Amino acid sequence: MGPRLIIVSNRVAVPDTPRAPLAGGMAVAVKAALKNRRGMWFGWSGKVAEESVGEPQAVEVNKINYVLVDLSKNDIQEYYNGLANSVLWPILHYRVDLQEYSRADASGYLRVNRMFADRLSPLLRDDDVIWVHDYHLMVLGRELRARGHRNTIGFFLHTPCAPPDILQALPHHRAILGGLAHYDLVGFQTENDRDNFAHYLVSQGATQTRTGYEFEGQKVRLGAFPVSIETKAYMRLARNAGRSAMVSLVRESLSGNRLVLGVDRLDYSKGIPDRIKAFERLLENNPEWRGRVTLLQVTPKSRSEIRQYGEIETEVTGLIGKVNGRFGDAAWTPIRYVNRSYSRTVLAGLYRAADVGMVTPLRDGMNLVAKEYVAAQNPDDPGVLVLSQFAGAAKELDGALIVNPHETDAVAAALKRALEMPLEERRERHAPMLDHLLENDIKKWAEDYLATLVGAQPARSLLAGIRALFGGQSDQAPLALR
């Protein structure tokens, strides 16, 4: 039968019903990796355990096996809200000034990683291939090794990776970041992220080998694997969603105005205040666009228990109120601000309806919104993507108008250019980006990473392992690290 693929992530997104739409972001990526492969997805159920954390619960939906563990209230506060999202998240996004470290949170992070290892360990077989995802579980590989597992274990970081000087601002950084050396392959979104971590390892005394790095007796390889989307499926979704009732209502409510769209979690890394200031500057410098363009900012709230997230919400709502008060009138609201989640279908329809997609994070690992916006467009009459140079997607989507989100005037000028761009130029910019996404979709991302990961096995079992993981269809040797 060949090896199983075991996916491990902080949160497991189980569909409510077999026909429920896929969640966005990493959930889509993980499900693509598991599609047509034997294995399971292990992680937090999203539920709070009443007392002590019990045994894992298994459920099967759409031929995918999910194994779920609950977390206690204390676990969530220390591991999730604490070290993961109040320390690691800001540091990885270059925001050392926002980290709030405590020993209790660090202890909680290590405790939950040990608990994951304890619950997962009895379920593993010797030939399972294990793929761990994201900053919540950096030390899980070390914990599994400590329990005697010699499986092929890989890790993928979905966030950016800051340079060594910033990573070293994490107290006891070697105990957490050094844990990544216990994986066979650590994947990053971009070559810059990969190189930053390589420089960190070297700064901590690692030696470079022919295939990777040796650190504290562990051998690890590093690679860049830009995550992507289900391009063809998303194109179909957007075509159908473009005719939906919700999108028709939005178009009708615009009364012929041009639509600029932003879709982001409420997070300080997304650059939403800077985007609003740029839109304000557009209206300030170009009176002819007043009453003719609307910014729709869709921003679901997240991590509201963390102080910095409440502060960014206050800042955003204040800025929007200022712009609407300054430029709006009874017949036109310059900025529409929505604090709720929409289904992938509705979002795909909004992307297709938008004349301009604004994806302007201050720092992002990849940003799949940018790729979804491109895939959702009508190729005969596409919109224009305005994209931050600090998003991982900027390395691939070079047909976008690439901007520095800190330069308010430059972003406002790019917005104006996007709104006034002729059809021929829009097509010329869109077509190569769509071709790239069709060639480099989410399935290829998973196969590229897994083929390289399986390359950590002895050569005699390499091709057999790849064929087993890919349903017996691949005769290719593992891809070279990029």
Residues in the chain: 482
Whether the CB-CB separation of 350 and 261 falls below 8 Å is answered with: yes
Residues 355, 364, 441, 448: which is the catalytic one? 364
The DSSP line for 11-74 is E----SSTTSPPPSTHHHHHHHHHTTSSEEEEEEEEEEPSSS----EEEEETTEEEEEEEE-HH
Whether the CB-CB separation of 247 and 346 falls below 8 Å is answered with: yes
Spatial distance between the Cα atoms of 481 and 161, rounded to a whole number of angstroms: 18
Active site (annotated) includes residue 118: no
Spatial distance between the Cα atoms of 272 and 266, rounded to a whole number of angstroms: 8
Active site (annotated) includes residue 364: yes
What lies within 8 Å, CB to CB, of 312 at 6+ separation is 266, 267, 268, 272, 273
Within 10 Å of residue 406's Cβ, how many Cβ atoms? 14
Residues 136, 158, 430, 436: which is the catalytic one? 158
- Strand partners of residue 294: 259
Q: What is the DSSP letter of 364?
A: B
Task: At 132, give phi and psi (nearest 5°).
Answer: -100, 140
Within 10 Å of residue 151's Cβ, how many Cβ atoms? 20
Catalytically active residues, by annotation: 158, 364
